[in-house]
């Protein structure tokens, strides 16, 4: 148990290194420049160098800060994002914790991250941090609704909250193909809302460098800051993995119901490659958002959720329910 946990943590840290490298390279690609290319082959060790730098930096605590909460906040943020990783299935028969309420677990634990962010903003004794934290409270609480509703649409279709069963239910085709337009709508809503949930551009209002100089983590430095960074990348991985699992079949190869020969060929591709391929496709899409879109304003952000995404997902739930009852899906 302990060994598994340590392995998972090591995996997550390595994954975050890779995501950090990937983000820099994607950004460089979008911005017609080269990106990191000095440290290590093709700059791959750049992120390690940065981590070493962060490790040696002074972990400053401001004078006016509430020291206990200030130092606790990064841990809460990073722990919540690591907890969410638990029920993810990485490959066929490779799931660390197949809890029977997987979807509920994921959505409830991930919403706890906002406590850490609020704590960080409040205890920093910095007005910019406070505004950032307040923004994040409004933002994360709102967008959770849409995430929940879009996840529920698949729960209704597959009839289970357990991630392994949801994956099994996609053996004859992924939900995004089987579920007609309503599931595509909930997939799009999930991607938008989860981008907002993990505070990434164009919804990075909590950090909003140009407005709030860094938002809730303005006062953090060194490893404490690195923890926020770590949790951002773990969150990025988690939402992409959840989207891949729920909508794109997780490790399930691309199957078309009835075409056995084709399905057999697809089975030869290892299931972990399917899982990580789908996850990284979604990660790339979310990075793509970040490097091409300007940031929304706070009222526009809330309008988008309460006036568009939420009503659409509510109607969508009805459609999906009708579809599930009538058996219209494949």
Partner 1 sequence: MLLGQDHITEEGEFVINMGPQHPATHGVLHLKIGLDGETIKKIEPHLGYIHRSIEKMCEQLSYRQFIFTTSRMDYLSAHINNQACVLAVEKALQVEATPRAKAIRVLMAELTRLASHQLWWACMGLDLGAVTPFFYAFREREAINTIIEETCGTRLTQNYMVPGGVMMDIHPNFQKRVKEVLKQIKEKAHEYDELLTGNVIFQQRLKGVGYLSKEDAVSYGCSGPTARASGVSCDVRKLFPYDGYEQLKFDEILNTEGDSWARYLVRLGEMKQSISIIEQLIDNIPEGDFQAKTKNVIKLPKGDFYQRVETARGELGVYIVSDGGATPYRCKFRSPNFSNLSAIPKMAEGAKIGDLVAIMATVDLVIPDIDR
CB of 27 to partner 1, least distance (A): 7
Q: Is 297 in the site for partner 1 (CB under 8 A)?
A: yes
E-assigned strands of 137-226? none
Strand segments, DSSP code E, in the chain are 89-91, 94-95
Distances in Å between the Cα of 177 and the Cα atoms of 40, 134, 144, 240 are 42, 39, 25, 18
Number of residues written out for the chain? 330
Determine, following the binding rule CB under 8 A, whether residue 300 of this chain makes contact with partner 1: yes
Q: Which of residues 181-210 bind partner 1 (CB under 8 A)?
A: 201-202, 204-205, 208-210
312 lies in the binding site for partner 1 (CB under 8 A): no
- For residue 142, CA distances in Å to 58, 156, 187, 204, 266 come to 36, 22, 18, 14, 39
What is the rounded CA–CA span in Å between residue 145 and residue 10?
32
Q: Does 1 bind partner 1 (CB under 8 A)?
A: no
Minimum CB distance to partner 1, residue 130 (Å): 9
Contact stretch for partner 1 (CB under 8 A) within 25-33, 180-188, 233-241, 267-275 = 25-33
**Nearer to partner 1 (CB atom), residue 76 or residue 208:** 208
14 Cβ contact list (under 8 Å, min separation 6): none
Tell me the CA end-to-end span of the chain in Å, nearest whole number. Answer: 40
# chain residues binding partner 1, by CB under 8 A: 29
Instruction: Write down the least CB distance from residue 132 to partner 1, Å.
Output: 11
Q: Is 89 helix (H, G, I), strand (E, B) or coil?
A: strand
Cα gap 81→22, rounded to integer Å: 20
Residue 4 sits in the site that holds partner 1 (CB under 8 A): no
> Quick check: 330 binds partner 1 (CB under 8 A)?
no
Q: Indicate whether 309 belongs to the interface with partner 1 (CB under 8 A).
A: no
The three-class DSSP label of residue 162 is coil
- Closest CB 214 distance from partner 1, rounded Å: 9
Nearer to partner 1, 186 or 218 (CB): 218
Q: Does 32 bind partner 1 (CB under 8 A)?
A: yes
Q: Which of 190, 261, 203 is nearest to 232 (CA)?
A: 203
Under 8 Å between Cβ of 231 and 324: no
d(CA 20, CA 24): 6
Taking the complex as a whole, the smallest distance from the CB of residue 119 to partner 1 amounts, in Å, to 20
Quick one: which segment of 23-31, 58-66, 75-83, 252-260 binds partner 1 (CB under 8 A)? 23-31
Residue 9 CB coordination number (10 Å): 12
Q: Does 143 bind partner 1 (CB under 8 A)?
A: no
Rounded-to-5 percentages of helix, strand, coil across the chain: 70, 0, 30
27 lines the binding site for partner 1 (CB under 8 A): yes
| Contact residue for partner 1 among 17, 21, 128, 251 (CB under 8 A) | 128
Binding mask 211-240 for partner 1 (x = CB under 8 A): xxx---------------------------
Name 94's bridge partners: 91
Q: Which CB atom, from 86 or from 287, has the smaller least distance to partner 1?
A: 287
Residues that bind partner 1 (CB under 8 A): 27, 30-33, 127-128, 131, 135, 201-202, 204-205, 208-213, 291-300
């Amino acid at each position: 148990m302990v060994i598994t946990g340590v392995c998972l943590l090591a995996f997550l840290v390595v994954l975050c290194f890779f995501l950090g490298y990937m983000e820099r390279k994607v950004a460089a690609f979008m911005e017609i420049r080269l990106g990191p290319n000095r440290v290590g082959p093709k700059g791959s060790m750049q992120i390690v160098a940065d981590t070493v730098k962060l490790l040696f930096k002074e972990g400053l605590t401001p004078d006016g800060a509430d020291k206990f909460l200030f130092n606790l906040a990064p841990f809460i943020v990073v722990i919540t994002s690591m907890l969410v990783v638990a029920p993810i299935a990485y490959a066929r028969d490779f799931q660390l914790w197949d809890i029977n309420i997987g979807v509920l677990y994921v959505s409830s634990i991930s919403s706890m991250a906002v406590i850490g962010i609020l704590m960080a903003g409040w205890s920093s004794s910095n007005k910019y941090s406070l505004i950032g934290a307040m923004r994040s409270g409004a933002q994360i609480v709102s967008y959770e609704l849409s995430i929940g509703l879009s996840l529920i649409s698949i729960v209704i279709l597959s009839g289970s909250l357990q991630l392994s069963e949801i994956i099994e239910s996609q053996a004859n085709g992924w939900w995004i193909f089987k579920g007609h337009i309503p599931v595509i709508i909930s997939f799009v809503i999930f991607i938008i809302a989860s981008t907002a949930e993990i505070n990434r551009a164009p919804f990075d209002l909590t950090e909003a460098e140009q407005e709030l100089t860094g938002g809730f983590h303005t006062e953090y430095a060194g490893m404490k800051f690195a923890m926020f960074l770590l949790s951002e990348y773990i969150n990025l991985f988690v939402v992409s993995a959840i989207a891949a699992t729920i909508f794109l079949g997780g490790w399930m190869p691309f199957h078309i119901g009835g075409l056995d020969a084709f399905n057999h060929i697809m089975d030869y591709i290892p299931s972990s490659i399917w899982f990580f391929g789908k996850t990284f496709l979604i990660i790339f899409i979310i990075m793509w958002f970040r490097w091409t879109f300007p940031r929304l304003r706070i009222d526009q952000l809330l309008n988008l959720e309460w006036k568009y995404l939420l009503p659409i997902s509510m109607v969508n739930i009805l459609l999906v329910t009708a579809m599930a009852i009538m058996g219209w899906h494949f």
